[in-house]
C-alpha cells in the first residue's frame, strides 16, 4: 500500500455546559464537563474506484448521548460512474446519512456549525441512529446546463442499545428495542448561476419493543415517516439554511396491549452564519417543534395523562447564538447560548421526564475548545 493511498485525521474537543432547569445535560442542573468528543477517521484508497472509510468516535455528552466508543461509519465505497456529467457511488456497510443538510457533518465538532444543533431535526437522543446505518446506500450527481442534481437512496438499520432506548423512549423500560429498517431517499438541486440549493427528503422507519417479564410496558411497534424540505443560500461571507418537516408517528401497543395511536409532528428551523473575520464566525438559529400539529399548544396532554404531563411537553421553541474563533492553525473555541420555551424535544421522547423537566422556560450555555490533526 502506497503512503498516499491511506489517510487519517482526528480531532478532540472538550468543554463545559449547563442547563439549569432541564435534563438536557444532567439531572441536577450543575455545570458539567461532559462535553467530550474524540474522533479518528481514515480512508484507504484501494484503487481508483474502491475505497474503505471509517470513523471511531468517543462521546461523553451527559444525558444527550450514550457515553463511550462507537463506530460512526465503516463502509466500502465503489465509484461506479465518474464522467463529466455523472458520478454514481455505491456504499455497503455502516454508511453515513447524507439525506439532511447537516446529517453527514454533525458527527465532527469542527464541521458542525453549532455545539447544539436545532433539536427539531437533529434530536441529540437520536444521534447514533441518525448518523449512520448498517446496509447499502447510493449517491449520484448529474450535471447539466440547468444545474447540478443530487439523488441519494439508502436502506439499512442501526443497533439500539438499552441505554440509548431509555434516552429515547422512557427511563423506566427494561425491555429491548430494535430498529427493523430505515429507508430514505433525498434529492438536492443547485441551479446554474444561483447561490441557492433546494432539497427534499423522505424517511420511513419501523422499530419494535419487546418487554421483559417485570416490565410496566407492553410489547410495542413504532412507525416513523417523515417528509422534509430544505433550502440553503450562500454568499461569500454569510449563509442561510433551513429545514422544515412533518413526521407521522404511529404507536401500536407499548402503553398497553391493543393501544393504537397516531399523531403528526411538525418542526422547522432557520440557521444563519456570518463571517465577522476570516477566523471568527457568528451563528444564530431559531428552531420550532410541535409534537402534535393538531394540538400545538399541548393542551391535550394534561387531559390524556390525568395531569401528569404538562402542556409545555407538546412543543419547543429555541433561540440560539454561537460564536467561534479559530487560532493557532488547528484550534477553535466556541461559546454558545440557548433560550428555550417548552420541553417537547427533551429526552425521553415517548414517556417524558416530568420529574426533572418541571420548567417551561430553560436556558443552556456551552463553551468548547477543539483541536484537529
pLDDT at 3 over 90: no
Average pLDDT of every residue of the chain: 97
Residue 348: cis peptide before it, omega within 30 degrees of 0: yes
Q: 270: which 3 cell numbers? A: 432557520
pLDDT at 257 over 90: yes
Give pLDDT tens digits for 322-356.
999 999 999 999 999 999 999 999 999 999 999 99
Alpha carbons 340 and 319: distance in angstroms, whole number? 6
Question: Which backbone phi and psi does 330 adopt, to 5 degrees?
Answer: -130, 20
- The answer to whether 332 touches 324, Cβ cutoff 8 Å, is yes
In 3D space, the residue among 150, 151, 105, 129 whose CA is nearest the CA of residue 271 turns out to be 105
Q: What is the pLDDT of residue 328?
A: 94
pLDDT at 36 over 80: yes
- The answer to whether 69 touches 58, Cβ cutoff 8 Å, is yes
pLDDT at 25 over 90: yes
Q: What is the pLDDT of residue 18?
A: 99
Give pLDDT tens digits for 56-98.
999 999 999 999 999 999 999 999 999 999 999 999 999 999 9
Percent of the chain with pLDDT over 70: 99
Give pLDDT tens digits for 286-317.
999 999 999 999 999 999 999 999 999 999 99
Q: pTM for this structure? A: 0.96
Strands 361-372 and 196-210: unpaired
| Domain parsing of the chain, residue ranges | 11-372
Percent of the chain with pLDDT over 90: 99
Give pLDDT tens digits for 212-224.
999 999 999 999 9
pLDDT at 1 over 60: no
Q: What is the pLDDT of residue 68?
A: 97
Give domain 11-372's CATH number out of 3.30.1050.10, 2.60.120.260, 2.40.160.10, 3.30.910.20: 2.40.160.10
What integer is the mean pLDDT of 245-260?
98
What integer is the mean pLDDT of 5-28?
97
Q: What is the pLDDT of residue 136?
A: 99
pLDDT at 2 over 90: no
Q: Give 4's pLDDT tier (boundaries 50, 70, 90).
A: confident
Q: 159: which 3 cell numbers? A: 443497533
Burial of 345 (0-12, 13-18, 19+ CB in 10 A): buried
Question: Which backbone phi and psi does 127 adopt, to 5 degrees?
Answer: -55, -55
- The answer to whether 217 touches 209, Cβ cutoff 8 Å, is yes
Q: 157: which 3 cell numbers? A: 438499520
Amino acid at each position: 500500500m502506497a503512503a498516499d493511498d491511506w489517510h487519517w485525521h482526528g480531532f478532540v474537543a472538550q468543554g463545559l455546559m449547563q442547563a439549569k432547569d432541564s435534563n438536557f445535560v444532567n439531572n441536577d442542573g450543575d455545570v458539567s464537563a461532559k462535553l467530550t468528543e474524540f474522533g479518528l477517521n481514515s480512508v484507504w484508497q484501494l484503487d481508483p474506484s474502491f475505497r474503505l472509510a471509517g470513523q471511531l468516535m468517543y462521546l461523553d455528552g451527559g444525558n444527550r448521548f450514550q457515553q463511550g466508543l462507537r463506530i460512526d461509519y465503516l463502509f466500502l465505497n465503489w465509484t461506479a460512474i465518474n464522467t463529466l456529467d455523472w458520478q454514481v457511488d455505491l456504499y455497503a456497510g455502516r454508511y453515513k446519512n447524507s439525506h439532511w443538510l447537516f446529517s453527514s457533518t454533525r458527527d465532527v465538532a469542527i464541521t458542525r456549525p453549532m455545539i447544539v444543533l436545532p433539536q427539531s431535526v437533529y434530536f441529540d437522543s437520536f444521534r447514533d441512529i441518525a448518523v449512520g446505518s448498517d446496509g447499502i446506500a447510493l449517491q449520484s450527481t448529474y450535471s447539466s446546463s440547468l444545474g447540478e442534481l443530487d439523488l441519494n437512496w439508502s436502506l439499512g438499520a442501526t443497533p439500539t442499545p438499552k441505554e440509548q432506548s431509555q434516552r429515547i423512549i422512557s427511563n423506566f423500560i427494561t425491555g429491548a428495542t430494535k430498529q427493523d429498517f430505515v429507508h430514505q431517499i433525498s434529492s438536492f438541486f443547485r441551479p446554474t448561476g444561483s447561490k441557492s440549493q433546494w432539497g427534499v427528503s423522505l424517511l420511513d422507519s419501523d422499530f419494535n419493543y419487546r418487554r421483559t417479564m417485570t416490565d410496566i410496558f407492553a410489547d410495542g411497534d413504532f412507525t416513523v415517516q417523515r417528509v422534509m424540505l430544505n433550502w440553503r443560500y450562500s454568499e461569500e461571507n454569510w449563509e442561510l439554511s433551513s429545514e422544515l418537516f412533518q413526521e407521522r408517528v404511529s404507536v401500536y401497543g407499548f402503553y398497553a396491549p391493543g393501544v393504537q395511536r397516531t399523531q403528526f409532528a411538525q418542526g422547522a428551523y432557520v440557521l444563519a452564519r456570518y463571517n465577522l473575520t476570516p477566523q471568527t464566525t457568528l451563528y444564530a438559529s431559531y428552531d420550532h417543534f410541535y409534537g402534535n400539529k393538531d394540538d400545538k399548544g399541548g393542551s391535550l396532554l394534561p387531559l390524556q395523562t390525568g395531569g401528569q404531563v404538562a402542556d409545555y411537553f407538546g412543543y419547543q421553541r429555541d433561540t440560539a447564538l454561537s460564536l467561534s474563533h479559530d487560532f493557532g492553525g488547528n484550534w477553535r473555541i466556541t461559546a454558545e447560548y440557548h433560550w428555550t420555551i417548552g420541553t417537547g424535544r427533551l429526552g425521553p421522547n415517548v414517556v417524558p421526564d416530568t420529574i426533572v423537566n418541571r420548567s417551561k422556560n430553560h436556558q443552556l450555555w456551552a463553551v468548547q475548545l477543539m483541536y484537529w490533526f
